[in-house]
């Protein structure tokens, strides 16, 4: 068996760390998991909204605290300043949340513009704070016809870009107009069971990771960059 050369000449040894189990936080939060839910349609009878409302009921029954953002009145990205009251409402909910659920209809083979606009208004960073980094995410979609996964696949890409922990499970409800009672409650079905599965998994991942958010999102490259910036400031002061 060959012996590997373990010298790392390109590594900053001052910032290189070996992950250790002992580095995880021992203290777990005791408050209810905080889950934000977003939907992607403004129709009077919006099936993505009905899925989100049903999801909120299930999450509350599982012990979560939930908030649903109403996208009505949210301006198109860059069409209004970020100080717009709906933008501020959305961003405050994002900061409040520890996990999120996104549900969009599929329109023209993609998520809706309403869904994308909400995500586009969420900044990757606010000063030194990354408001979505390390938070859990579950993605769902509703279909007018046969089952598809285009919207959930796109939302997964966005979730990764936002540095979120997108759980493995997902839901796609085919012919959603057949799956709800007149009062807006979802009928018993395999689709309903899958939504329960997704939310149960979201709760598990949220409970498992929220106490360790800072450690899980601590990155070597960012430590190196921060150390270099600190050294630059020190050198400037000494001039």
Cα angle for residues 71, 76, 82 (degrees, 5° grid): 90
186 domain residue, yes or no = yes
6 domain residue, yes or no = no
Compute CA 157 distance to the chain's CA centroid, rounded to the nearest angstrom: 11
The residues pairing with 37 across neighbouring beta strands, listed in sequence order, are 68, 101
Classify residue 74 as exposed, middle or buried by CB count within 10 Å of its CB (0-12, 13-18, 19+).
buried
How many structural domains comprise the chain?
1
Give the pLDDT confidence score for residue 40 in this predicted structure: 97
41 domain residue, yes or no = yes
23 domain residue, yes or no = no
Indicate the helix (H) or strand (E) that contains 236.
Answer: helix 220-238
216 domain residue, yes or no = yes
Task: Please name the residues in contact with 113: beta carbons below 8 A apart, sequence gap of 6 or more.
Answer: none
**CA–CA distance, 3 with 80 (Å, rounded to integer):** 60
Give the pLDDT confidence score for residue 1 in this predicted structure: 46
For 126-157, b where at least 16 C-beta lie within 10 A, e where not — what string?
eeeeebbbbbbbbbbbbbeeeeeebbbebbbe
The residues pairing with 111 across neighbouring beta strands, listed in sequence order, are 106
Q: Provide the residue range defining the domain that includes 196.
A: 30-238
pLDDT tens-digit profile, the chain (239 residues) = 456 766 677 777 788 777 777 777 777 888 999 999 999 999 999 999 999 999 999 999 999 999 999 999 999 999 999 999 999 999 999 999 999 999 999 999 999 999 999 999 999 888 777 899 999 999 999 999 989 999 999 999 999 999 999 999 999 999 999 999 999 999 999 999 999 999 999 999 999 999 888 888 888 888 888 888 888 888 888 77
What is the value of pTM for the model shown?
Answer: 0.86
**CA–CA distance, 96 with 12 (Å, rounded to integer):** 35
3 domain residue, yes or no = no
171: left (phi over 0), alpha (psi -120 to 50) or beta: beta
Task: Please name the residues in contact with 173: beta carbons below 8 A apart, sequence gap of 6 or more.
Answer: 47, 51, 140, 141, 142, 143, 147, 179, 191, 195
Q: Which CATH number is 158's domain given? A: 3.40.50.360
Give the pLDDT confidence score for residue 164 in this predicted structure: 95
Give the pLDDT confidence score for residue 204 in this predicted structure: 95
108 domain residue, yes or no = yes
20 domain residue, yes or no = no
Indicate the helix (H) or strand (E) that contains 120.
Answer: helix 113-120
Under 8 Å between Cβ of 50 and 103: no
The residues pairing with 179 across neighbouring beta strands, listed in sequence order, are none
């Amino acid at each position: 068996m060959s012996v590997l050369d373990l010298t790392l000449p390109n590594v900053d040894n001052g910032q290189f760390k070996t992950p250790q189990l002992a580095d995880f936080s021992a203290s777990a939060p005791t408050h209810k998991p905080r889950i934000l839910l977003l939907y992607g349609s403004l129709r009077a009878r919006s099936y993505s909204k009905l899925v989100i409302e049903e999801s909120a009921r299930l999450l509350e029954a599982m012990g979560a605290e939930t908030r649903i953002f109403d996208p009505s009145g949210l301006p198109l990205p860059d069409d209004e300043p970020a100080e717009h009251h709906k933008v501020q409402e959305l961003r405050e909910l994002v900061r409040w949340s520890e996990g999120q659920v996104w549900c969009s209809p599929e329109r023209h083979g993609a998520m809706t513009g309403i869904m994308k606009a909400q995500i586009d208004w969420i900044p990757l960073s606010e000063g030194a704070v990354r408001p979505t980094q390390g938070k859990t995410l579950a993605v769902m979609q509703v279909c007018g016809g046969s089952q598809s996964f285009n919207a959930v696949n796109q939302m997964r890409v966005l979730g990764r870009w936002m540095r979120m922990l997108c759980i493995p499970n997902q839901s796609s409800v085919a012919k959603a107009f057949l799956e709800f009672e007149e009062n807006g409650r979802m009928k018993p079905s395999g689709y309903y069971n899958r939504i329960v599965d997704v939310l149960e998994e979201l709760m598990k991942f949220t409970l498992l990771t929220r106490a360790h958010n800072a450690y899980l999102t601590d990155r070597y490259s960012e430590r190196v960059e921060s150390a270099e910036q600190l050294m630059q400031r020190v050198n400037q002061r000494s001039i």
